[in-house]
Amino acid sequence: MNRRSGSGTTAALRSRRGSGRWLSICLPALLLGSPRARAAGPPELAGLDAVYPSLDSLYIDLHKNPELSLHEEKTAAKMAARLRAAGFEVTERVGGYGVVGLLRNGSGPVVLVRTDMDALPIKEQTGLAYASSATTKTETGETLPVMHGCGHDIHMASWVGAATLLARARDRWHGTLVFVGQPAEEIFLGAEAMIRDGLFIRFPKPDFALGLHVSHLQPAGQIGVISGPASAASNAVDITFYGKGGHGAAPHRTVDPLVIAARTVVTLQTIVAREVNPFDPAIVTVGTFHAGGKRNIIGDEARLELTVRSYKPEVQKQLLEAIERIARAEAAAANAPKEPRVVVLPGEASEVVVNDPALAARLLSALRRQLGESNVVRAEPFTSSEDFGVYGRIAGVPSVQLRVGTVEPGEFSKAKAEGRTVPGAHNSGFAPDRERTIRGGVAALTLSVLDLLGGKTGAP
């Protein structure tokens, strides 16, 4: 994949963008093919060609200027400005830097469409001409690189595109749109914060909630629909082991917390392998190991940081209890001077995202009618986590988070044939094939909303 080409295609392919000859797999001709092919597609997408250049510019701007969670001030202002330009009534600073746009169009259902806005502390290594070189300083003075490494820039551009097309197609739907620009998704705080700030009181409560997320497991622009659990619940667990430090040349006079922690890392792997039902997805990953400071000194403490993923509440409970049991047992076996400290961090937890099966089936059918079966597929659940599920749960309404592929189709086929995976979210090399992906995201959101609001989307 030539990541320096901008959209993940070569310059030669880019020069033939309008011809339809370079379309390989995935995105239908009505989105990236010839004018004649596009004219035969859903009329609701007829304006996408005219809108796309502004979406492309927005995407590049967002990608070059990412902002971390709870610092999305400029990003939120850009989202608010785009919604106002489309004719939405906009309220800013809802639950932090949250943005809410309303577009009323007569009586009918209320549909919430959410995008996330925050970026990640990752140094981008894509080589793109518009790669992020942004940095930020933490409260402690540490300088961190910042990158849209989870595709939120794609989500925002697609969200703006859908808002624009829907505002221009008000003769095709009736109801109310609630477009939500959410901060702090990466730290699982944004959705709850907006709801606490009156999202469902100050604004119309939705009848349906829709979201979008990129996927490097699909070719660019292909839409994936997951029924049931879509993203895992997540817990962050810190374990601190206490020992008795001393000289590395006299280990018999110490209790080595590093060894206790090392044994714990290994034993933790038996939770999923030997305790959890193999038909229940579960993950226990030790991400960091902090111990020692000099080769000939045995320290007093060792610390582990874990991420824990699950789909069922009972499995989540089982995992957390087993982690604590094992940590305490390993410390006791080593005759540690005191029990380890096991903390499940309350601010770094997310719940399962569950796509309503009936709504997922409805949207799968509607999108396939418009875009073709090969372009809209049943997707597999992810073990990554996020907070989109909060909207549907708290509002008590059906919700679905759609997936859109990011990998240039030729590269996707090549990688699949070679048995490898192209870099995806939370990877410094994540470089979506931007045009296909954004167009696919706009189509997914626009056509889904029209189906829910009674629009005539060309269905037989």
- Residue in 44, 67, 124, 185 annotated catalytic: 185
Q: At what angle do helices 313-333 and 257-270 cross, to 10 degrees?
A: 140
State phi, psi for 168 to the nearest 5 degrees. Answer: -85, -10
Contact yes or no for 215/205 (Cβ under 8 A): no
Q: Which residues contact 328 (CB under 8 A, 6 or more apart)?
A: 339, 340, 342
Other beta carbons within 10 angstroms of residue 81's beta carbon come to 13
> Is 185 designated active site?
yes
Show the tokens assigned to 279.
Answer: 């038909």
Q: Which residues contact 166 (CB under 8 A, 6 or more apart)?
A: 103, 173, 177, 446, 449, 450
Show the tokens assigned to 427.
Answer: 């990877």
Q: Whose structure tokens read 């596009």?
A: 38
> Is 339 designated active site?
no
Contact yes or no for 340/263 (Cβ under 8 A): no
Helix H or strand E segment including 62: helix 48-64
Q: Give the residue among 296, 217, 302, 216 at the shortest CA–CA distance from 258.
A: 302
- Residue in 72, 118, 387, 411 annotated catalytic: 118
Show the tokens assigned to 165.
Answer: 């097309």
- Which residues are catalytically annotated? 118, 185
